[in-house]
Structure 1
């Protein structure tokens, strides 16, 4: 069809799901299992899913989930979980992605959702649409043959036992739900999403075992769990197996330590591969040699303020704050202009104002700083925030912070 733009952008019909899903999988270079397809079909919100067509062919896809995300202060704020974004390799650079992002953000605004969040396959793409990296995740390759743990009091009171992942699902979800209000960036799981933690196609195991689970108990109550895989290996010196941690949650320090001790102590395993953990995860302060843990950090959740006033009013602030932002937002111009934010640890209000601005920044910087994980002073040091009133930057940066590092616990 040459180089003209494709303009047939429509809401996805259920009958077209398989072709739509196949286009996503192809764009991401994967193959996709029947198990993944059926789970995605059951979770897809068809009225929030978009398809771009070239004749009978689906050449662009985008979707959104209706989430609630924890923000500083513990409130769960309505958020669009942006997902399944792809453009066919045959139709790149024709404006398809921009048209889908335009339609999607207009729809999010119409639904009254103040926030949008995504996990970017290519972070460079989404900054131009106002998304800023707001949460980060920690990975590690821990040499468990050389690293020891210092265990807190009460660890011996915790019992750890094996359980079938499906059988323990209800108890594990209760633990997860109890943790959601305590950490910014976490998602309150909607019905059906609990099954995502059990997804276990053989093609995704990378030579490892089926998904395994242990639960931790104190006084007969489940206080934590871990899901993991093991992969046996042998080297010149003997056993050299790897444990891959998929998910871990605990309600208290002793339970957390008991689960890590279990993972460190599995027979025939010498490496613990850790993925997608909070950057302030407590195990880092239990180990006796952090250098042998080979830690690394990468971006995870990218946040976009769809309604600046509603989003900034929805969270609380670590210190009293009264600041006027001059906000730039070319893609969602309803956000542009000056906003006065007043807040403290009890609540906040953000309204339009004609008063002189104290800080100037784009909506992308507000997205990065929103959950408290990226300091405004750091963004200013990179030239991305301008201080217009002396002292305003340090005041706002302190107030925007969070005692717990924000964390997006799973993809979508």
Structure 2
């Protein structure tokens, strides 16, 4: 590739995001949306490829702290990846991935992570599918509950300023429990999550409604939803789309779902990127009526194996020697011994005989506890004796399952 690759300056943001829009096939962002993004994006971590005065490709990295099973880890969150159709098949994407992963390594971030527009793209750069999300849909008349955790508080509608004061704390309480959730800066909250004016919704949907659950005046959960007004044969049959729902307690979670189910004039309720182990499944009287469509969400790429494996806890105590193949980041390959348990872990290079052999893709898939070593072994992706596979599953499995509720 003969094109220069570098971060952009603020004055180049319009060209950068216009190129990104062409790559994804949507209209360019309006100036106010770009200005809002620049309020919280770190342009020193932007990646642009130039052909003369044209941006031929784009990418960038968010600086996150990501939750692991029982811990936290520094993470480079890959975003904005796009190559103009006129510049495909020229090695540009590979060059950007090389640039980005080298930077993640130099900054001491143990992992990189992303949401993939196409699942096939990033596996060749060492990413493994580490988490799934579920799209839910249910007829409102079928939302009767068999059981529900009790609650003593109330739900009420609030405005943006109040949400900015209360919701970051609710998010932070939730995020340290669920592997795959990430930290949010104040700028992220102000200019992305609770942007003013808010991001437009899908065609025909309302702006966002903000609901907060409280007990004794203390905020313990929130939900955001949009409504698409619709009538069938004169009867109300609107669609309610849940954009976010977080409850710090079982009672808060229960109260928020019951509030959603009680909104009038609604025929169908839907939600995206919910948990694979959503408690709602077990609360419904007729769970078959809850239509569930799983899809990959978070893909993880281990960049520093020692740091990454020591940054999480393990469900049961055990030890494994892993032979790790990593062609794209050769500093990361080799043989490692991991000794871990519920209280912590130690990882180091070793010359001991390997119990398991895998590529970095498989380690990324295992990392958050969302993928089974047994499943990967049956697929021919992990080599090792049956007992070592069982040990890996006993160690790496985690509850709750990983959850990534926000696309970057």
Short-chain TM bin = over 0.9
2:156 to 138, 157, 161: 161
CA contact (8 A) 1:151 1:257 kept: no
Task: Report the equivalent of 1:110.
Answer: 106
1:152 Cα shift?
Answer: 2.9
CA contact (8 A) 1:33 1:203 kept: no
User: In structure 2, the residue corresponding to 1:25 is in which secondary structure?
Assistant: helix
Where does the alignment leave 5 or more consecutive residues of structure 1 unmatched? Answer: none
Deviations 1:128-185 (A, max 9, x none): 0000110111111111112312353533x12111112343222111111111211111
Equivalents in 1 of 2:378, 2:94: separation in Å? 30
2:276 to 275, 279, 301: 279
Task: Report the equivalent of 1:216.
Answer: 213
Would you say how many aligned residue pairs link Structure 1 and Structure 2?
A: 405
User: In structure 2, the residue corresponding to 1:123 is in which secondary structure?
Assistant: coil
1:237 Cα shift?
Answer: 6.0
Q: Does 1:143 align with 2:131?
A: no
Task: Report the equivalent of 1:187.
Answer: 182
Q: Does 1:327 align with 2:324?
A: yes
2:227 to 227, 230, 233: 230
Deviating more after overlay: 46-55 vs 230-239:
230-239
Deviations 1:174-222 (A, max 9, x none): 1111112111111121221113222465643321111111111111211
Deviations 1:309-367 (A, max 9, x none): 11111111111121111111100011112111111111111111111110000000000
Equivalents in 1 of 2:95, 2:387: separation in Å? 40
Deviating more after overlay: 119-128 vs 279-288:
279-288
Equivalents in 2 of 1:150, 1:163: separation in Å? 30
CA contact (8 A) 2:136 2:274 kept: no
Deviations 1:280-334 (A, max 9, x none): 1111111112222211110001000001111111111111121111111100011
CA contact (8 A) 1:233 1:239 kept: yes
- What root-mean-square deviation, in Å, do the aligned CA atoms of Structure 1 and Structure 2 show? 1.4
Matches within 5 A, 1:313-392: 313-387=310-384, 389-392=385-388
Deviations 1:374-405 (A, max 9, x none): 01111111110011x45111001110011101
Task: Report the equivalent of 2:291.
Answer: 294
Equivalents in 1 of 2:283, 2:237: separation in Å? 23
2:88 to 76, 86, 92: 92
Equivalents in 1 of 2:396, 2:19: separation in Å? 40
Closer/same/farther in 2, CA of residues 203 and 171 from structure 1, 3 Å limit? closer
Closer/same/farther in 2, CA of residues 194 and 169 from structure 1, 3 Å limit? same
User: In structure 1, the residue corresponding to 2:120 is in which secondary structure?
Assistant: helix
Task: Report the equivalent of 1:23.
Answer: 19
Equivalents in 1 of 2:407, 2:30: separation in Å? 17
User: In structure 2, the residue corresponding to 1:154 is in which secondary structure?
Assistant: coil
Task: Report the equivalent of 1:13.
Answer: 9
Equivalents in 1 of 2:146, 2:155: separation in Å? 18
Task: Report the equivalent of 1:37.
Answer: 34
Deviations 1:92-118 (A, max 9, x none): 000000001001111110111000000
User: In structure 2, the residue corresponding to 1:124 is in which secondary structure?
Assistant: coil
Closer/same/farther in 2, CA of residues 312 and 146 from structure 1, 3 Å limit? same
User: In structure 2, the residue corresponding to 1:43 is in which secondary structure?
Assistant: coil
Equivalents in 2 of 1:247, 1:256: separation in Å? 12
Q: Does 1:177 align with 2:169?
A: no
User: In structure 2, the residue corresponding to 1:393 is in which secondary structure?
Assistant: helix
Task: Report the equivalent of 1:400.
Answer: 396
Equivalents in 1 of 2:129, 2:234: separation in Å? 43
Closer/same/farther in 2, CA of residues 292 and 202 from structure 1, 3 Å limit? same
Deviating more after overlay: 338-347 vs 163-172:
163-172
Task: Report the equivalent of 1:270.
Answer: 267
CA contact (8 A) 1:6 1:94 kept: no
CA contact (8 A) 1:71 1:185 kept: yes
User: In structure 2, the residue corresponding to 1:183 is in which secondary structure?
Assistant: coil
Where does the alignment leave 5 or more consecutive residues of structure 2 unmatched? Answer: none
CA contact (8 A) 1:151 1:286 kept: yes
CA contact (8 A) 2:105 2:304 kept: yes
User: In structure 2, the residue corresponding to 1:281 is in which secondary structure?
Assistant: coil
Task: Report the equivalent of 1:77.
Answer: 73
Equivalents in 1 of 2:240, 2:106: separation in Å? 45
Equivalents in 2 of 1:393, 1:111: separation in Å? 33
